[in-house]
Structure 1
Amino acid sequence: MSGVYVVLEDRGGRISRISWEAVAAANLLAAQSGAKANAVVIGAQTEALAKEAATKGVAKVVRIEHPLLAQYTADGFTTALEEFIRAESPDYFVFPHSYQVRDYVPALAARLGRVLIGDVTAIGDGPVFTRQLMQGRLSGNYKSTGSGPCFISVQSGAFRADTAESAAAESSTFTPTIDAAQIRTKPGEPFRGTAQTVDLGSAQMIVAVGRGIKEADNLPLIQDLAAALGAEIAASRPICDNGWLPIERQVGSSGQTVAPKLYLAVGISGAIQHLVGMKGSQCIVAINKDAEAPIFEVADYGIVGDLFEVVPALTEAIKSARQ
């Protein structure tokens, strides 16, 4: 058997947003051969996850089940997927570029004598896989050579999760042979950067603020706008470096990667380190007094003006429209 498979991750019993983005990437890859991608869910009991996966643009859902897969361990997931891949011989295996994937997939690829093309941002004909270098200053194109499956992971926000078509998929179960002695580590709590981490990656609307705000005492302007929209607040690195907002609200190459429906950038010039974290947003609106600011190159709508005049007027207009 050959084809394209995408491994889905769950967060709190639901499939994560970045997994749906990986499905979109996998279907884009599968379309080059006129096919659809197949999904893989892993655990001890995966029926609920399989039902959720079956409605989102895949041809088939494979349930890899074993009691030793009840909680994530690198050894367990690597062993299970290695056995499945050797049995099914897929062409491509797609993963979301998550902390979990970065933990075990390099070992999986090494066991099979392959490499992982990580953090892919685009897939072209060939297929050719594009990933960023030097914190987004450069892009490199990669092709898989040799025999065996090609492993890729896709960057959060690089592919639109809403492009996956809804369709009922068939389901099958694969039971790997795993011995308890193969699991060398004990599962712990899922990684979180801090106990108060804000998941900006799940936000539908974000108002992001940059150094144009000038000082921390002016942040209530941004907070009022975000409250009027029902949006999360984010920031560029200088704001968080100054301690004006918590580090978990930073967007960019050294912060979170986001892909909301609306990204409103206020007083952000648009350094490449920031752009790589938000360029996957569906609609980008920029407010900046510098008409030559790089942020306008990626913005869908731009307002050239003083944010201290524009933001209050915009906030009042939104409040009035909602009354």
Structure 2
Amino acid sequence: MSVLVVMEQKGDAGWHRISLEALAAGQKLAAELGVPCSAVVLGEDAGIAPLSAELATKKLAGAWAAGHALLAHYTADAWVAALQQLIAETQPRYVVFPHTYQVRDYAPALATRLGQVLISDVTGIHSGPVFVRQWMQGKLNAEYAHKGDGVCLVSVQAGSFRADEVEAGSCEVKTFVPQLEAAQLRTKPSEPFREATQTVDLSAAQVIVSVGRGIGEQENLGLAEELAAALGAELAASRPICDAGWLPMERQVGSSGQTVAPKLYLAVGISGAIQHLVGMKGAKTVIAINKDADAPIFEIADIGVVGDLFEVVPALTRAIKGAA
């Protein structure tokens, strides 16, 4: 029994940001089961050499470099065939993927080819192992346990596991050459799917100041903007703020916005609706400022400040500037 993590690269820019989160999830799952964890990167030999060398610096039982000319550009048929062959050779019990647009394209086909299940968009892993998924935009959590003898495929949601928790170590890089022929590929490689262009990627932010309806009016956003500037943070918001047009939709955090996992998330005037918590629950430290002592945000906050944000935020900004 073992765990295999399928890594995904993003052109010449290195790993897709969720790949390292998937690797952290795979290491956690393997530790829970007391079994080895390995990882694989697919592509053309020269293109994946630096990435497989990076995998060699992680705490893994081994890293696979699955290289072939027909893997130089992504196609679902090539990825499915290559992974099916690698799974047949290595016999993992669990295969973990980052829940990216590319994985959504080919992983269901791979599961069907294997005659097995895909538990997608997992947000947590508990003893068992039990995999947690969200229903109804985060209002409910559902728990899944894989039964049977076959391999189980799992994709993990962005922000659910922390990339900085990947354990370092060393391992051997092994070469895997899948048997692929051009006739197997029913589609030609095309331009990768591109998400809507954003001027800010909140998922990469280390510090976020997020504002909710407690700010009252658009003219009061300056308080949060000044605090964000003092902290060197990105400014974000809950859905009502963006729906009102006070901030652009790309700055929305939540089930219908961006999923974030910063080191510090400072929630200003946010009550803590479940749709918002879904998007920021991966934050390492949460500080909440709200005058309502019963606000749900305090249930998940590491530090809670019950008070008027119009008094607390300016005082906090002055203190930060004074300490700089």
Give the TM-score range, shorter chain: over 0.9
The 5 A counterparts of 1:118-267 are 118-267=120-269
- Range 148-157 or range 176-185, more displaced: 176-185
Structure 2 length-normalised TM: 0.94
Question: Which residue number in structure 1 is paired with residue 65 of structure 2?
Answer: 63
Secondary structure of residue in 2 paired with 1:10:
coil
Partner amino acid, structure 1, of 2:25: A
CA distance in 2, matches of 1:231, 1:172: 41
- CA deviations 1:220-260 (Å, max 9, x no partner) are 22111111111111111111111221211111111111111
Ranges in structure 1 where 5+ consecutive residues have no aligned partner:
none
Report what 1:29 is aligned to: 29
Q: Does 1:299 align with 2:298?
A: no
CA-to-aligned-CA distance 1:105-142 (integer Å, 9 cap, x gap) = 01110111111101112222222111111222211111
5 Å-filtered alignment, 1:39-50, equals 39-44=39-44, 45-50=47-52
Contact 1:23 1:58 in 2 (8 A): no
Please give the root-mean-square deviation of Cα atoms over the aligned residues, in Å: 1.6
Structure 2, unaligned stretches of length 5 or more?
none
C-alpha change, 1:264 and 1:191, in structure 2 (3 Å) is farther
- 1:190–1:246 CA distance, 2 compared to 1 (3 A): farther
CA distance in 2, matches of 1:183, 1:225: 53
* Corresponding residue for residue 10 of structure 1: 9
Give 1:191 deviation, angstroms: 3.2
- Secondary structure of 2:123 counterpart: strand
SS of equivalent residue, structure 1 residue 14? coil
1: CA distance between counterparts of 2:281 and 2:49? 35
Equivalent-residue separation in structure 1 for 2:191 and 2:211 (angstroms): 32
Secondary structure (helix, strand or coil) at the match of 1:110 reads: helix
- Aligned-residue identity in percent: 63
1:52 deviates by 1.6
Q: Deviations over 1:67-109 (max 9, x none)?
A: 1211222222112111211222211100111221111101110
Measure how far apart 1:190 and its partner are: 3.5
The Cα of 1:197 is off from its aligned counterpart by: 4.8
AA in 1 matched with 2:20: W
With structure 1 as the length reference, what TM-score do the two structures score? 0.94
> Quick one: distance in 2 between partners of 1:188 and 1:211?
43
- Once residues 176 and 36 of structure 1 are traced to their aligned partners in structure 2, the CA distance between those partners, rounded to angstroms, is 22
Deviation at 1:201, TM superposition (A): 1.2
Separation (CA, whole Å) in 1 of partners of 2:234 and 2:27: 30
d(CA) in 1 for partners of 2:78, 2:200: 29
Q: Which amino acid aligns with 2:99?
A: H
Q: C-alpha separation between the residues in 2 aligned to 1:75 and 1:232?
A: 40
- Number of residue-to-residue matches in the alignment: 321
Name the CA shift for 1:211/1:15 in 2 (closer, same or farther; >3 Å): same
- Counterpart position of 1:320: 322
1-structure distance, mates of 2:7, 2:176: 15
Structure 2 CA distance for aligned equivalents of residues 215 and 29 of structure 1: 46
SS of residue paired to 1:265:
strand
- C-alpha spacing 1:162/1:175, structure 2 compared with 1 (3 Å): same
* Cα separation, partners in 2 of 1:165 and 1:183, compared to 1, 3 Å: same
